[in-house]
Structure 1
């Protein structure tokens, strides 16, 4: 019996060492291929969405009105009524002769059924999964996720942000209730960059070089809001976040469903607080994944002690990803404030430099703070005591949450 236990323990240790080696070598290989490319500053017109109901209404309408092409990229597509309506809409457009491409993450879209796949392909939708795990470095590649959400319609209208397609994003999942997220609709110059990123992701997934057809890049007007898209593939996002924090003179607002920091990000927040920058962070009270709350507790503990304010959203589930720096810059996109977004996920964020848009966004964020409770040091101490072993385990696996 003892010998069997020893062998089991040895096998587990060997497997863990092999997984660690796979991840380490895979990441080194991945980073060698990455270039810190940035899209240029653009001028776009922006509409902001904070509920799935209003977003899906306009998104579905815009797709319905497409005449040439629809390019769609999501992390998650579920097998529920809203997802089936979405698939039905895409199939109808393809049957009408509109060029339709749908790109989904292989892990995130695991609920997509074979029937849905057949409906898409039968109707003429070009359909593919991104980031399928493969050798070498299978474990590392299993953790690479295309977390981007991009829609481009006729090269003239673009969408990006935090929403996926599923009933929970409409607030119809009783487990989460009301769902808060932020998403953008853009017209104007910035749409060309969303198109460029989609076509790049499509090529990476399919090796189908679609090419820069004129119809994909029509002339675009100069909008009133200065924007820049930042696309990252598990590299350079940390530098982008640090750069934003360094700009702060008065206030930083961070909204994220997860809060699992790198050492560099943590130190930069501490440095900002030492400059007397007011820092507030809004997080969900109810987690949607195991151990993400426990992984955040050590950071909440350390940073709350120096005066950084943490609030827990209580109206439902808070999935929004936002960073506001004073009144001069805000970031909305797909990247969470956690290690997975920093080191594994493929993300896209939009930097907005328009004071009026920032003002409107901050109104919504302030409303969200009013439907939250301040996290006290006493409560953090209780969580540390209640979840001691979970915190240790969550810290150990924090890169993979």
Structure 2
């Protein structure tokens, strides 16, 4: 009996510690958060929705690098595709090209020490960001850098949803084909992505290259008007609310995880009540045991008011996109969930050019053709297993 009481007491103390740690960690995060606002830029932008074609193009650009390669990924795994990527970086470093690789500590936790030593031995500067640290160990373990940035010679850049691992090139039986959105940018916007990488590099390593002229070239002006938008677990909710309020006719949201805040679900309901068409695309299959169930309570609020929810059926759906009235399209790394809103460091691109938006609309049309409408009755009838999963998902929704 005493043992049971001790276990219960220990669990209560653990929960109390996590709660205090998270609250105080969040206060510190908010105190030190800073908002970076880049100007409007003009670049040429190309959309990739398939990892095989994306990485063929990206690796070709990396092979052509002459000066420097700056790469930030949330995930780099220990598989054959990751080794191909890292071997390419070693080859470029051996040629005298400056190579800096920044990885999220949690997302790339599986990278072996032997692999890291091999990269450094070859001359690659590699560092990890967002490692857990005292005094707020739990909160800092949840605050992750979810950005994906590749900048080559200060002339070409990439950002979007893909990481480095075999599932992203359709070699995971459960999740293939992997559907995602990634942008290639050539033009003025590259400068902002370079600046964002160097800012993250400085925060992770203390090495300050932010004013180094070598890294701040002035690329030629492109055709597509856009805005690079970094967030770090602050300000994203406000930005998304403004996007929703801008809509006059149509909102399309594509996301692998639909877990909005109270403010955002309220804004979406207001939009529906104004007669605005709302379409949400989510995966038909999940890569996490609770994320599908976490979204159901929101869909039960939105669908009766006229929202159309579709579940993608041709593989795993991982894009992060918001389309507003065919006037503005947001593509990047931010999911439509509480983790992206309140914890992760994210990076998005707001696109204002009609030609580029048309390219993204066609991709969304393809997504819808490969999706089926959500059966509201199916997620509303009593099901004890689903109900239990929904309760668990609701309890940990900030961390999914």
Fold shared, TM-score > 0.5 on shorter chain: yes
Q: Which residue of 2 aligns with 1:320?
A: 319
Q: Which residue of 1 aligns with 2:151?
A: 152
TM-score normalised to the size of structure 1? 0.98
Q: What is the distance in 2 between the residues matched to 1:110 and 1:291?
A: 22
- Asked whether the 8 Å contact 1:384–1:391 carries over to 2, the reply is no
Q: What is the distance in 2 between the residues matched to 1:136 and 1:7?
A: 26
Q: In the alignment, is residue 97 of structure 1 matched against residue 106 of structure 2?
A: no
Q: What is the distance in 1 between the residues matched to 2:139 and 2:274?
A: 38
Q: Which residue of 2 aligns with 1:185?
A: 184
- Asked whether the 8 Å contact 2:191–2:218 carries over to 1, the reply is no
Q: CA deviation at 1:384?
A: 5.5
- Asked whether the 8 Å contact 2:179–2:318 carries over to 1, the reply is yes
Q: Which residue of 1 aligns with 2:248?
A: 249
- Asked whether the 8 Å contact 1:297–1:384 carries over to 2, the reply is no
Q: What is the distance in 2 between the residues matched to 1:185 and 1:232?
A: 20
Q: CA deviation at 1:211?
A: 3.8
Map 1:205-354 to 2 at 5 A.
Answer: 205-354=204-353
Query: Which structure 2 segments of 5+ residues have no match?
Result: none
Q: CA deviation at 1:96?
A: 0.4
Aligned length: 400
Q: Which residue of 2 aligns with 1:391?
A: 390
Map 1:33-52 to 2 at 5 A.
Answer: 33-52=32-51
Q: What is the distance in 2 between the residues matched to 1:226 and 1:147?
A: 24
Q: CA deviation at 1:116?
A: 1.6
Q: CA deviation at 1:376?
A: 1.9
Q: What is the distance in 2 between the residues matched to 1:274 and 1:211?
A: 47
Deviations 1:128-164 (A, max 9, x none): 0000110011100000110000000000101000000
Other structure's SS at 2:379 match: helix
Deviations 1:34-74 (A, max 9, x none): 12221111111101100001100010000000000000000
Query: Which structure 1 segments of 5+ residues have no match?
Result: none
Q: CA deviation at 1:390?
A: 1.4
Other structure's SS at 1:380 match: coil
TM-score normalised to the size of structure 2? 0.98
Q: What is the distance in 2 between the residues matched to 1:29 and 1:384?
A: 41
Q: CA deviation at 1:176?
A: 0.7
Q: What is the distance in 2 between the residues matched to 1:149 and 1:123?
A: 23
Q: Which residue of 2 aligns with 1:58?
A: 57
Q: What is the distance in 1 between the residues matched to 2:192 and 2:82?
A: 26
Q: What is the distance in 1 between the residues matched to 2:313 and 2:207?
A: 45
